């Protein structure tokens, strides 16, 4: 006697689960330009590596004799898999079953996915579509009561999602309409990607928002341009396949958990590589812009720069890269946006980014061009100074190795935090560097008003003062007092950054950070 009958029933239940919401719902998903959750998992992970857990969870129907007559799977699938040979946890919403809403949700699956990532110390990728198991007004009628949001159910899942931010890499892919708890799970990540034409994210969707007098389409309310510019989502791509590629690439720079160090890959590039273009990339005219991203690409291993949050906090560029095969976190001022002055948004971006570097033991390379905090009425309305001192605190709290390269401007309070204070960090300056309490432009008129107004030729007097002060603010004058340690040939920057990455390696220590990473 064998257990073949039970195994046959198991296979039958698994086959029913793989049908998801049925052929008509699968077709509807495809017609909308979206893959099903099972297709998404297959496209994301290494071929044949997905080990599903809880495939037969759901709601079954039985006849009078207790025989299975129908089965609707839970609208969440999860399991272990591999990405580039490294184990991960994948958890995905099945929109073909009740639109991903709570009526078909078994919350324990989401909770266990987060627990597994945390306790096995594995990265987790959340594929989110729908409310992510959040509530529905139908829930009241189905259960006969209203749920109090909090400790149990979704509250437990979100608690674990928060804990995981300080433990393992978390990637969220928004590949359809994402609302409510789904939006919270989407935002509670280290890196998030949405598709441009087939996804949107919001706390509450258009039908609910219309009740407060705002009639908007999904894209108008929470499309990619809204969310990436607001900083709620890191990146937007045209296709789901591009989203999967972004997830894989992001994870390649990070350890599987904070209890490991970032992976080092072989590199056959010359560490002493010199680019002659660096001699003339910075204009002599201080008001002219230049392309900082081109400088970053020149200094790091070729093709390794992976930018994050490009549409948000645009005076600062942030991303991951490799130098001699070693992962680093890159920050760089962008003169194309407010001349690189730190806005409130830029400060929020910096805080989140240096927290990421600190959490996952990434040395920081900071290419500086910062004329200070943004000034004016808009800066005051957005509490730029409060955001700025929070950014200063975040940088000063870091313990990972830090290397600063001053490319052009360093002024004001924002300029003062171009490196952590109170501990050693390496610092180099290009000959194009300029610094001070504030830029001369605009400050001379205030400081020398009496001299200028009392002159027979105010314009000539202003020009004379500018010329005199420009000579005094030469970086070589500063170097005489050792206020700047090294002024370097820009072409030697990569060689010095390679040396920094080698020096930083032995200083990196696995383990949890002194403070919890916040989304």
pLDDT beyond 80 at 470: no
pLDDT beyond 90 at 170: yes
pLDDT beyond 90 at 459: no
Task: Pull the structure tokens for residue 12.
Answer: 């039958």
Overall average pLDDT of the 330-353 stretch:
97
Give this prediction's pTM. 0.91
3-state secondary structure of 369: strand
With pLDDT > 90 as the criterion, what percentage of the chain qualifies? 74
pLDDT beyond 70 at 340: yes
Q: What angle (nearest 5°) sits at the alpha carbon of residue 217, between those of residues 216 and 221?
A: 70
Q: What is the pLDDT of residue 449?
A: 82
Between 106 and 214, the more confident residue is 214
Neighbours of 454 (CB within 10 A): 10
Which stretches within 35-97 are classed as H helix? Answer: 37-44
- 200-202 and 235-237 strand pairing: unpaired
Neighbours of 478 (CB within 10 A): 17
pLDDT beyond 90 at 499: yes
List pLDDT tens digits, range 58-98: 998 898 988 888 888 999 999 999 999 999 999 999 999 97
List pLDDT tens digits, range 247-305: 999 999 999 999 999 999 999 999 999 999 999 999 999 889 999 999 999 999 999 99
pLDDT beyond 70 at 100: no
Q: What is the pLDDT of residue 391?
A: 96
- Ordered by where they begin, the domains of the chain are 35-250 (3.90.226.10), 276-433+484-506 (3.90.226.10), 438-477 (no CATH)
> What H or E segment, with its residue span, contains residue 333?
strand 326-333
List pLDDT tens digits, range 115-152: 999 999 999 999 999 875 555 556 556 556 666 666 55
Determine the distance from the C-alpha atom of residue 412 to the mean position of all C-alpha atoms in its chain, rounded to a whole number: 27
Overall average pLDDT of the 473-478 stretch:
82
Q: What is the pLDDT of residue 430?
A: 97
Q: What is the pLDDT of residue 105?
A: 72
Q: What is the pLDDT of residue 130?
A: 84
Mean pLDDT score of the chain: 91
b/e map 49-80, b = 16+ CB within 10 Å: bbebebbbebeeeeeeeeeeeebbbbbbbbbb
Cα(38)–Cα(200) distance, rounded to whole angstroms?
Answer: 21
pLDDT beyond 80 at 311: yes
Q: What is the pLDDT of residue 502?
A: 97
Residue closest to 454 by CA, chosen among 463, 444, 462, 443: 462
With pLDDT > 70 as the criterion, what percentage of the chain qualifies? 92
Q: What is the pLDDT of residue 166?
A: 95
Q: What is the dihedral of CA 406, 411, 413, 417, to 10 degrees?
A: 0
Q: What is the pLDDT of residue 107?
A: 84
pLDDT beyond 90 at 48: yes
């Amino acid at each position: 006697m064998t257990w073949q009958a039970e195994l046959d029933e198991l296979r039958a239940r698994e086959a029913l689960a793989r049908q998801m919401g049925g052929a008509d719902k699968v077709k509807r998903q495809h017609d909308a330009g979206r893959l099903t959750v099972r297709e998404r998992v297959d496209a994301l992970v290494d071929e044949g590596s997905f080990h599903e857990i809880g495939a037969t969870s759901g709601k079954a129907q039985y006849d009078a004799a207790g025989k299975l007559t129908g089965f609707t799977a839970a609208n969440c699938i999860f399991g272990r898999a591999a990405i580039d040979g490294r184990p991960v946890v994948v958890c995905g919403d099945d929109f073909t079953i009740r639109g991903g809403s709570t009526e078909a949700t078994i919350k324990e699956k989401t909770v266990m996915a987060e627990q597994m990532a945390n306790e096995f110390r594995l990265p987790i990728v959340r594929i989110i579509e729908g409310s992510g198991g959040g509530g529905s007004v139908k829930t009241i009628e189905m259960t006969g009561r209203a749920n109090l949001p909090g400790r149990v159910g979704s509250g437990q899942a979100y608690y674990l999602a928060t804990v995981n931010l300080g433990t393992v890499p978390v990637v969220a892919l928004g590949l359809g309409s994402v609302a409510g708890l789904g939006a919270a799970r989407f935002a509670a990540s280290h890196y998030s990607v949405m598709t441009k034409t087939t996804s949107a994210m919001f706390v509450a969707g258009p039908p609910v928002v219309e009740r407060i007098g705002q009639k908007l389409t999904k894209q108008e309310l929470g499309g990619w341009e809204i969310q990436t510019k607001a900083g709620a989502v890191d990146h937007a791509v045209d296709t789901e396949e591009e989203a999967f590629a972004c997830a894989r690439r992001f994870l390649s720079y990070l350890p599987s958990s904070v209890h490991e160090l970032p992976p080092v890959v072989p590199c056959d590039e010359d560490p002493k590589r010199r680019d002659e273009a660096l001699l003339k990339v910075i204009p002599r005219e201080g008001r002219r812009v230049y392309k900082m991203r081109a400088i970053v690409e020149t200094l790091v291993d070729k093709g390794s720069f992976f930018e994050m949050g490009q549409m948000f906090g645009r005076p600062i560029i942030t991303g991951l890269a490799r130098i001699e095969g070693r992962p680093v976190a890159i920050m760089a001022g962008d003169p194309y946006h407010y001349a690189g002055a730190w806005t409130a948004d830029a400060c929020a971006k910096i805080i989140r980014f240096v927290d990421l570097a600190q959490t996952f033991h990434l040395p920081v390379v900071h290419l500086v061009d910062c004329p200070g905090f943004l000034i004016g009425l808009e800066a005051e309305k957005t509490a730029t100074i409060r955001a700025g001192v929070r950014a200063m605190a975040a940088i000063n709290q870091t313990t990972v190795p830090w290397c600063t390269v001053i490319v052009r401007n360093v002024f004001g309070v924002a300029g003062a935090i171009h490196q952590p204070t109170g501990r050693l960090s390496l610092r180099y300056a290009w000959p194009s560097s300029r610094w001070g309490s504030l830029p001369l432009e605009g400050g001379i008129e205030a400081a020398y008003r009496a001299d200028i107004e009392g002159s027979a030729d105010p314009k000539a007097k202003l020009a004379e003062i500018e010329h005199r002060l420009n000579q005094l603010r030469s970086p070589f004058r500063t170097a005489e007092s050792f206020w700047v340690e090294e002024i370097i040939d820009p072409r030697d920057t990569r060689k010095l950054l390679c040396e920094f990455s080698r020096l930083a390696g032995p200083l990196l220590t696995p383990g949890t950070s002194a403070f919890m990473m916040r989304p």
